[in-house]
Every structure is written in structure tokens, then in C-alpha cells.
């Protein structure tokens, strides 16, 4: 596809469950970013990949959050033992080097 694709667009889960959110970046983009956005706030940085490795994971809130990008393209954000406070829109972005970030539409996570 032409843009960043995120799936699922909506996910409703119960407290304590495990969740995976997927991001397909723009083909050829080496950098990939995950952000989290709560209602009424700006996006909050979570993690940044350069290729397959996490170059900066300083924004991950705790060890329940983990992200991988095994082949340097698709990335998965994994959340264990979800809590109600994890409810947010999770945004993925990609870029070609340190240039413009292209964002996906986001995955809206609701934890009941």
C-alpha cells in the first residue's frame, strides 16, 4: 500500500488480556515509530526502530509493553496483562531516515 497501515483499527479487550497491534510501514522506510495518544492529548512517544533494532525504547511505560520488528519492516506492539489505563489510540509512523514521519490511522484500544 501507499501509506502506513495499522491493524486492527479497533480492539476491545478485557483487563488482564494480551494484545498485539500490527504496523505495516511504507515500503523502504528504515525508521519506524510507535506513539500512544490519549483523549485530548498529543501523541506520546513509545519506541523507535532503525532497521530491526530498537534504537530508543525510552517511552515504553513499563515492562508490560514490548515491540518487535524482526525483518526490518512490519512491527508488532505487544501489551501484556492489559489495564484500563492502557486504553488509547496507538499510532505507528515510518520515515526514510531523519525526514518527515508518515503516520498511520492508528489502532484504538479499549480495555474494559
Please report whether residue 57 would count as binding another protein according to CB under 8 A.
no
Return the residues of window 29-48 that contact another protein according to CB under 8 A: 31, 33, 35, 41-45, 48
**Strands (E) located in 1-106:** 5-7, 10-13, 19-24, 31-37, 44-50, 53-56, 65-68, 75-79, 88-95, 102-103
- C-alpha 54/C-alpha 28 separation (Å) is 17
The one segment of 19-27, 50-58, 70-78, 80-88 that binds another protein by CB under 8 A: 50-58
User: Which run of H or E residues covers position 110?
Assistant: strand 107-111
One residue of 4, 19, 26, 88 binding another protein per CB under 8 A: 4
Shortest reach from residue 83's CB to another protein, in Å:
23
Q: Report residue 78 as a C-alpha cell.
A: 505487544
Contact between 12 and another protein (CB under 8 A)?
A: no
| Chain contacts with another protein (rule: CB under 8 A) | 4, 31, 33, 35, 41-45, 48, 50, 55-56, 91, 93, 95, 98, 100-106
Amino acid at each position: 500500500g501507499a501509506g502506513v497501515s495499522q491493524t486492527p483499527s479497533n480492539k476491545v479487550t478485557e483487563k488482564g488480556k494480551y494484545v498485539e497491534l500490527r504496523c505495516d510501514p511504507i515500503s523502504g522506510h528504515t525508521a519506524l515509530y510507535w506513539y500512544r495518544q490519549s483523549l485530548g492529548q498529543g501523541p506520546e512517544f513509545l519506541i523507535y526502530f532503525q532497521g530491526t533494532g530498537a534504537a530508543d525504547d525510552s517511552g515504553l511505560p513499563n515492562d508490560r509493553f514490548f515491540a518487535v520488528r524482526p525483518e526490518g519492516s512490519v512491527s508488532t506492539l505487544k501489551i501484556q496483562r492489559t489495564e484500563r489505563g492502557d486504553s488509547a489510540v496507538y499510532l505507528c509512523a515510518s520515515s526514510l531516515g531523519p525526514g518527515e514521519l508518515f503516520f498511520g490511522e492508528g489502532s484504538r484500544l479499549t480495555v474494559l
